[in-house]
């Protein structure tokens, strides 16, 4: 983990958790061949929650959030996103994917398209928004992540931190109601981590529902309303951040936290 | 100024010394020679051996080229002229090309109709302009203008009747004006090129190509009507079936009926009169333009999760790649006859085009599969997570990148395909290399001519293939966006 400091004052006026359910996961199980990756996952995410998921490598964090937008298929249990049950029906999957934004560790921008085209591609083709309007929206979000001046460059010409912020803007252009982040800062140099975390904090301040796999504990303490610890495919412990860090209950959590926090 | 300078700084040189010249061994040509040809005893030795080989080759070929004969009515006359140059002299007899160039270009296509293939050839480049130089208006204009000038010049040189030259000039000027004023409209030339070209080359009633287009219109209509309900593959399949049924049954009858009502058209030229580069280019260009989409579909089919689609694609690719092209050409009539209603008389050139297309498509599919495999999984996942459906993801994200990676392989396949068109001589067509040369040699005047036709035909093939290769390098440069 890096030591990116969250030094800003966080505006909590819009960070409200409603009692409307955004994601409901019940008894979800997943196997890779014979390997049981996720075991009986139960998780309810309410609208407006900022959840940080942590855990040792290979514990199934990525797999869990990738199941939520059907990048991975689960074999047992039920996932309901925004009232739509995730089944093998392609219509449902496409609907959920267009409502749920995802940000990857390696950005996954489209290298053959400019930044602006990256941001307008899905709105134009999936949402059928006129190009001009889509470009206005894209510029709005590029300004928000503070790189409007790069709009006509290609991803290969940007730094890692800038690319990741473009990736966030690209997701936001679809106006998602939920955002998933899979280790968005792990591929970045320390000085770029902060700019990406700042962008994510701003998003949280606006009340976005977020599921973030990260080892940035500073971010978890400052922004999350719940921290989930996973190990060997199970949710071992979850709590609000203050309790989670100061008073972990299970031995495994303690061990993990001592490894990651105490050097 | 220099005073204060001198006052404040104890010693600073005011004027720069002129730079000394580098030693002779580090300059210009000598440096280049030393670094590239004589940079060690092994390199020096290799350089000397290479120089000797070049010397021997030039000594053998030069006199032959220097004594070239351009004006002669027969090989015997050529030999007499060469013999006059001296004892034991050798000389090339290009007179054969001068005498028979038209057969190398057009086969037995009627002489008075040469303007039609020439015009079709020129229009080909106008039709290609928006494809080859998409978004590069200046290149599109240049290509259109060059094609126009070329056609008009050739028609003049061929002694085409004035009326036709004038009409073609007007047409080309109109196209140039279109390329100038509305470059986007030029795409319509591309869309309607195939039927126009067919009409120019084969002639006959205008209604045959028109009703053939109706088949494509039917395909499009069925596709558009069904696609939202049953998805791309099924809609495409249904559209194809409808189109094939149309072409197989009512098409010919309707065309005949229409031409009896309104008989307009051009003098018909049967396929048996096609030959030379006219034949090679007809087969090559058609097969190239159809094999690319087919190859893409096969590559995607091979990666598909749908078992039947995958099995069919793999089966097709492996079968076609596993069998020599000549075998396919020989069995063409048999194979294709199975799929067609009995009694259809299937044109030999069309038959060959279909097989060459299949052949190239199978190779292209594998080349493109390589490009698809080279893309990181993240690209698919990003496209999926944004909600793009399969075809959108392929068309907008995956294929543009995969095809870009595959450009060298794709162009190699195209070049191979184009050269393979010479194999059609095995099914009795007059390809420029063997087919026409055999006919030329059958003439008592040119019996025994050997090198000259091959060098001539080879040179033309080289020019075209080299052109394709240069274009692919341009395209790679143009599409490079990864700045790493
Ligand atoms: N496609 C796959 N096929 C087989 N096994 C897989 C596959 N993807 C992941 N796994 C395995 O599933 C387990 C969970 O993987 P996952 O990527 O979810 O872990 P993670 O918690 O995100 O780890 P990290 O912190 O290293 O990213 C790992 O043991 C991994 O080896
Ligand atoms: Mg992971």
- Residue A157: which of B376, B389, B483 has the nearest Cβ? B483
Please give the pLDDT value at position B196: 92
* pLDDT of residue A64 exceeding 80: yes
Atom of ligand 1 minimally distant from the CA of A35: 5
Domain residue limits, chain B: 24-66, 269-478
Exposure string for B355-384, b = 16+ CB within 10 A, e = fewer: bbbbbbbbbbbbbbbebbeebeeebbbbbb
* pLDDT of residue B484 exceeding 50: no
CA distance A45 to A51: 8
Give, in order, the Cα–Cα distances in Å from B379 to each of A180, A187, A261, B282, B369.
Answer: 17, 17, 34, 38, 15
Q: Is the CB of A37 under 6 A from ligand 1?
A: yes
For atom 7 of ligand 1, which residue has the closest CA? Answer: A32
Question: Who wins on pLDDT, B315 or B253?
Answer: B315
The pLDDT of B154-173, averaged and rounded, is 93
Q: Is the CB of A233 under 6 A from ligand 1?
A: no
Token pair for B131: 């494809």
Residues whose CB falls within 8 Å of the CB of residue B400, separated by 6 or more in sequence, listed in order? A112
* Per-residue DSSP letter, B53: H
Confidence of residue A193 (pLDDT cuts 50, 70, 90): very high
3-class state of residue B64 by DSSP: helix
Tens-place pLDDT, residues A247-260: 999 999 999 998 88
Q: Is the CB of A172 under 6 A from ligand 1?
A: no
Question: Who wins on pLDDT, B364 or B340?
Answer: B364
Using an 8 Å Cβ cutoff, are B92 and B451 in contact? yes
* pLDDT of residue B95 exceeding 70: yes
The pLDDT of B374-395, averaged and rounded, is 94
* pLDDT of residue A26 exceeding 90: yes
Q: Minimal Cα distance from A172: which residue of B?
A: B386
Token pair for B301: 């089919």
Please give the pLDDT value at position A1: 47
Across the strands, what pairs with A41? A28
Please give the pLDDT value at position B37: 82
Token pair for B95: 């007179």
Q: Minimal Cα distance from A153: which residue of B?
A: B481
Confidence of residue B483 (pLDDT cuts 50, 70, 90): low
* pLDDT of residue B397 exceeding 80: yes
CA distance B369 to B317: 12
The pLDDT of B136-143, averaged and rounded, is 90
Mean pLDDT, all residues of chain B = 88
Tens-place pLDDT, residues A132-147: 999 999 999 999 999 9
- What proportion of chain B, given as a percentage, has pLDDT over 90? 53
Interface of A with B (CB under 8 A): 69-71, 90, 94-95, 97-98, 100-102, 104, 106, 108-112, 121-122, 125-126, 154, 156-157, 170-171, 174
Tens-place pLDDT, residues A75-125: 999 999 998 999 888 888 988 998 999 999 999 999 999 999 999 999 999
Exposure string for B224-258, b = 16+ CB within 10 A, e = fewer: eebbeeeeebebbebbeebbbebbeeebeebbeeb
Confidence of residue A225 (pLDDT cuts 50, 70, 90): very high
CA distance B260 to B207: 10
CA distance B287 to B280: 10
CB atoms inside a 10 Å sphere around CB B46 = 13
Q: Is the CB of A116 under 6 A from ligand 1?
A: no
- Find the B384 Cα to ligand 1 centroid distance in Å: 19
CB atoms inside a 10 Å sphere around CB B49 = 10
- What proportion of chain A, given as a percentage, has pLDDT over 90? 81
Which residues, numbered 385 to 424 in chain B, qualify as contacts with chain A under a Cβ-Cβ cut-off of 8 Å? Answer: 385-389, 392, 396-397, 400-401, 404
* Cβ contact B392–A110 (<8 Å): no
Tens-place pLDDT, residues B409-445: 999 999 999 999 999 988 888 999 899 999 999 999 8
Please give the pLDDT value at position B9: 53
- Prediction ipTM score: 0.92
- Residue A126: which of B386, B404, B484 has the nearest Cβ? B386
**Which residues does chain B have within 8 Å of residue A95's beta carbon, measured at their own beta carbons?**
387
Class of domain B269-478: mainly alpha
Instruction: State the pTM of this model.
Output: 0.86
Residue B484 touches partner A, C-beta closer than 8 Å: yes
Q: Residue B191, Cα to own-chain centre: how many angstroms?
A: 18
Please give the pLDDT value at position A11: 85
């Amino acid at each position: 983990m890096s030591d990116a400091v969250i030094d800003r004052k966080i505006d909590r006026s819009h960070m409200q958790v409603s009692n409307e359910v955004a994601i409901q996961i019940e008894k979800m199980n997943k196997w890779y061949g014979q390997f049981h990756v996720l075991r009986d996952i139960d998780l309810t995410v309410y609208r407006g929650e900022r959840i940080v998921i942590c855990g040792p490598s290979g514990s199934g964090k990525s797999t869990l959030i990738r199941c939520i937008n059907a990048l991975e298929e689960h074999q047992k249990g039920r996932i309901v996103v925004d009232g739509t049950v995730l089944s093998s029906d392609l219509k449902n999957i496409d609907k959920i994917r267009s409502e749920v934004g995802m940000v990857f560790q390696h950005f996954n921008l489209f290298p053959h398209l400019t930044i602006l085209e990256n941001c307008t591609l899905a709105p134009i083709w999936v949402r059928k928004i006129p190009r001009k309007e889509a470009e206005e929206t894209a510029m709005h979000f590029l300004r928000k992540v503070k790189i409007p001046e790069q709009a006509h460059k290609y991803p290969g010409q940007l730094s890692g931190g800038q690319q990741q912020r473009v990736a966030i803007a690209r997701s936001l252009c679809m106006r998602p109601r939920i955002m998933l982040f899979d280790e968005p800062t792990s591929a970045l140099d320390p000085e770029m981590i902060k700019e990406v975390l700042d962008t994510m904090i701003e998003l949280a301040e606006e009340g976005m529902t977020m599921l973030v796999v990260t080892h940035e504990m500073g971010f978890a303490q400052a922004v999350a309303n719940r921290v989930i610890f996973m190990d060997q495919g199970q949710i071992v412990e979850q709590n609000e951040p203050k309790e989670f860090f100061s008073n972990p209950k299970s031995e495994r959590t303690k061990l993990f936290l001592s490894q990651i926090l105490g050097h | 100024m220099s005073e204060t300078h001198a006052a404040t700084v104890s010693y600073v040189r005011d004027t720069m010394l002129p730079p000394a010249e580098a030693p002779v061994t580090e300059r210009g040509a000598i440096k280049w020679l030393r670094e590239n040809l004589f940079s060690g005893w092994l390199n020096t030795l290799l350089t000397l051996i290479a120089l000797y080989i070049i010397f021997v080759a030039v000594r053998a070929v030069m006199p032959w080229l220097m004594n070239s004969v351009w004006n002669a009515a027969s090989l015997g006359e050529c030999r007499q002229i060469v013999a006059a140059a001296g004892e034991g002299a050798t000389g090339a007899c290009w007179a054969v090309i001068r005498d028979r160039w038209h057969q190398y270009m057009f086969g037995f296509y009627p002489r008075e109709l040469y303007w039609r293939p020439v015009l079709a050839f020129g229009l080909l480049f106008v039709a290609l302009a928006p494809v080859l130089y998409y978004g590069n208006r200046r290149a599109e204009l240049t290509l259109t203008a060059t094609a126009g000038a070329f056609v008009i010049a050739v028609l003049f040189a061929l002694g085409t009747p004035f009326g036709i030259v004038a009409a073609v000039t007007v047409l080309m000027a109109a196209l140039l004006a279109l390329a100038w004023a509305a470059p986007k409209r030029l795409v319509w030339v591309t869309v309607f090129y195939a039927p126009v070209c067919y009409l120019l080359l084969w002639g006959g009633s205008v209604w045959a190509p028109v009703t053939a287009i109706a088949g494509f219109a039917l395909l499009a209509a069925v596709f558009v009507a069904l696609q939202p309900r049953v998805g791309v593959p099924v809609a495409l399949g249904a559209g194809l079936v409808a189109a094939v049924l149309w072409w197989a049954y009512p098409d010919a009858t309707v065309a005949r009926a229409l031409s009896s009502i309104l008989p307009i058209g051009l003098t018909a030229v049967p396929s048996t009169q096609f030959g030379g580069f006219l034949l090679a280019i007809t087969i090559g260009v058609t097969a190239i333009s159809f094999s690319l989409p087919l190859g893409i579909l096969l590559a995607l089919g091979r990666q598909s999760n749908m078992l039947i689609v995958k099995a069919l694609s793999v089966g097709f690719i492996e079968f076609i790649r596993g069998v020599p092209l000549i075998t396919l050409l020989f069995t063409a009539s048999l194979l294709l006859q199975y799929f067609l209603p009995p009694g259809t008389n299937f044109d030999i050139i069309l038959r060959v085009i279909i097989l060459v297309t299949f052949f190239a498509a199978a190779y292209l599919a594998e080349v493109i599969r390589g490009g698809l495999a080279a893309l990181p999984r993240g690209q698919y996942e990003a496209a999926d997570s944004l909600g793009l459906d399969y075809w959108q993801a392929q068309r907008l994200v995956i294929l543009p990148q995969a095809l870009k990676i595959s450009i060298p392989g794709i162009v190699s396949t195209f070049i191979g395909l184009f050269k393979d068109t010479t194999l059609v001589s095995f099914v009795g067509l007059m390809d420029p290399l063997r087919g026409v040369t055999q006919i030329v040699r059958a003439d008592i005047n040119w019996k025994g001519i050997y090198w000259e036709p091959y060098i001539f035909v080879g040179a033309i093939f080289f020019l075209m293939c080299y052109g394709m290769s240069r274009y692919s390098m341009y395209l790679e440069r143009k599409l490079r966006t990864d700045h790493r």
